[in-house]
Amino acid sequence: MRLVFATKDLTLAGRSFEGFPLLIGSEGWPVEPAQTFLWQALIESGESLSDLTWEAYGRRLYDYFAFLDANGLAWNEESPAHGLSVLSRYRDWSSGELSLDPGTVNNRLALVVRFYRWAKQRGLITILPFGEKRVRAAPHQGLLTHVARPGAENTKVSVMVRDRKRPTKFLTKDQVKVCLAADTDPSHQILFHLMVRTGLRSCEARSFPLKYVFNPRLKKGLRSGQMISIALDPSDMHIKYDRPRTIDVPWSLMEDMWSYSLHQREIRKSQDNGSVTALLLTNEGRHYSKDSVVDVMKSYERKCGFYVRAHMLRHTYGTYTLLALRKSKDFDGEPLLYVRDRMGHSDVQTTMLYLHLINQLEAQSVLAHEDEIDMMFMADSTKRI
C-alpha cells in the first residue's frame, strides 16, 4: 500500500487537484472506501481546499489503513467487544509500540472515527468499532463565560487516549539571545525571525512570498523603525484554513529580508531554474519543506544547547506580544484580539492560552516590552546577513 499525491494532471471539470492524497493498494487500485471518504470530506463538502489539510488527512488515514494491511485486518471487521476492535488495536499499537505522543494518536483517531461514522451513515457497516457516551461539558471560566451555553453536552469516544495537558513551551529572553548569536545559515536566520517576530506558522514562514518583500526606505508613507503591515493571501502562500490575514513585520526584519533577496537568494536561485516564488531558498535553490524546517530547528538546538522547535517560536511571539500590549499605555485596542488576528487563530479561546501563561509566569522569564525585543534583534542584525 502506498500514499501518493496527485500531480496537476488530476483534473475535473477543468480544475486541477494537484496535491490531493491518493491511497493506492498493492494491486494499484484506490483503497476503498477510504478514498471516497477523503474526496467527499475534503472536496464535495467544501471542508477544505488547502493542500496542507489534504496532506494531513491523507497521512492520517493512510497510517490506519497501512496498519490494517500489514496485519491482515479488515477495516469493517465487526467485534462485539470495543476493547478488541481493529481500531482499539491500532490505538494500542500507536501508543505502545510506536510510543507516539497522545495528542498525535488522538488526531489520527479523530479522523478515523469520522470515517467510521461516515461509513455507518451510508450503510457500509452496522456497528461502530468504538463506544460513545454523552458527557456534560465542564463549565467555562474566563473571558467568554457570558456566552457559554449552560448544560452543554459533548460526545465522548471510548477509543481515545487520555491526553494530559502539558505546559506550553516557548523561548525565554536569554534563549532568544543565544539563538540570535548562533552562527547559522542566512536562510535559517530569516526563517527563525519570521516565526519569532511575526507569529507565522512553520508552513507560512517557509512559503512567505518574495513578492511581499521590499526596501522600506523607498516606500512612501513609511517611517524608519515602524511596524509594517503585510496582507497575507492564501493564493500566494500556505496559510492554515486558507484564511487571509494581516501581520506586522518589524522595520529591521523587512530590511534584512530585502538584503537577503538581493544577495543570498540570488546566489541560491542560480542553482535552480528560478521558478520558486518563496523568499527563502535552500542551498540547492529549492523551497523549504516541512521536514527541512524541522532539521533547521534541530540545528539551532545543537548549536544552542536547548530544545528549539518551530511551534515554540510562534508561542514565543504570542506570549511576549500579548504581555507587551497589556503593559503599553499607547495601545488603544484589545490586546487579546490583536494577537488573535495576527496569529490567525479561528477562536479567541486559542489565544487565551497566552493570557494564562502570562498570569502564571515570573515577570523575569518573559520579555518585558516589545521595544526590548526589537532592540535586541536590531543589535544583532549586522551579524546576520
Q: Does the pLDDT value for residue 139 go beyond 60?
A: no
Confidence of residue 326 (pLDDT cuts 50, 70, 90): confident
pLDDT (0 to 100) of residue 72: 93
pLDDT of residue 147: 44
Would you say 246 and 231 are in contact if contact means Cβ atoms under 8 Å apart?
A: yes
Tell me, yes or no, whether 79 and 217 share the same domain: no
Q: Does residue 304 have a pLDDT over 50?
A: yes
**Last residue of a domain, which of 121, 147, 162?**
121
116 and 218 share one domain: no
Q: Does 255 score more than 50 pLDDT?
A: yes
Residues 116 and 183 in one domain: no
The answer on 265 and 370 residing in a single domain is yes
End residue of a domain, out of 61, 87, 121: 121
Residue 228 lies in a domain: yes
Question: Residue 105: CB partners within 8 Å, gap ≥ 6?
Answer: 91, 94, 95, 161
Is residue 178 very low, low, confident or very high in pLDDT (cuts 50, 70, 90)?
very high
Inform me whether the pLDDT recorded for 376 exceeds 50: no
Identity of the residue numbered 359: N
Q: Per-residue pLDDT averaged across 149-176, rounded? A: 77
Whether residue 104 is found in the same domain as residue 190: no
- Closest by CA position to 140, among listed 384, 352, 297: 352
pLDDT higher than threshold 60 for residue 144: no
Work out the percent of the chain whose per-residue pLDDT is above 90. Answer: 54
Per-residue pLDDT reduced to its tens digit, 96-122 = 998 888 888 999 999 999 999 999 999
Same domain, 109 and 189: no
**CA 102, 103, 109, 110: dihedral to nearest 10 degrees?**
150
Which cell goes with 220? 512612501
Domain-embedded: residue 132? no
pLDDT score, position 46: 66
* Domain containing residue 88: 2-121
pLDDT at 43: 86
**Residues 56 and 189 reside in one and the same domain:** no
pLDDT at position 48 over 70: no
Listed range (20-29, 279-288, 325-334) with the worst mean pLDDT? 325-334
- Residue 148 predicted with pLDDT over 70: no
Q: How many domains does the chain have?
A: 2
Quick one: pLDDT at residue 149? Answer: 53
Q: Are residues 8 and 113 in the same domain?
A: yes
> Is the same domain home to 178 and 116?
no
Inside any domain, residue 151: no
Confidence of residue 270 (pLDDT cuts 50, 70, 90): confident
In a domain, 161, yes or no: no
Range in 128-132, 288-292, 358-362, 365-369 with the lowest mean pLDDT: 365-369
Q: How many residues does the chain have?
A: 385
Question: Does the pLDDT value for residue 158 go beyond 90?
Answer: no
d(CA 69, CA 263): 50
Residue ending a domain, choose from 87, 121, 155: 121
Q: Is the pLDDT of residue 95 over 70?
A: yes
158 inside domain:
no
Do residues 50 and 183 share a domain? no
What's the confidence (pLDDT) of residue 346? 85
In a domain, 167, yes or no: no
Whether the per-residue pLDDT at 142 is higher than 80: the answer is no
Report yes or no on 371 lying in a domain: yes
Q: Whole-angstrom Cα distance, residue 370 to residue 358?
A: 15
Comparing 198 with 376, the larger pLDDT belongs to 198
Task: Return the DSSP state at 149.
Answer: P
Residues 105 and 254 in one domain: no
The pLDDT of 145-171, averaged and rounded, is: 71
**Residue 198 belongs to a domain:** yes
- Whole-number Å distance between alpha carbons of 66 and 4: 13
> Which residues fall within 8 angstroms of residue 318, CB to CB, at 6 or more apart?
170, 199, 339, 343, 351, 353, 354
Task: Give the confidence band of 8 by pLDDT, cuts at 50, 70, 90.
Answer: confident
Same domain, 355 and 241: yes
State the pLDDT at residue 314. Answer: 95
CATH number for the domain harbouring residue 287: 1.10.443.10
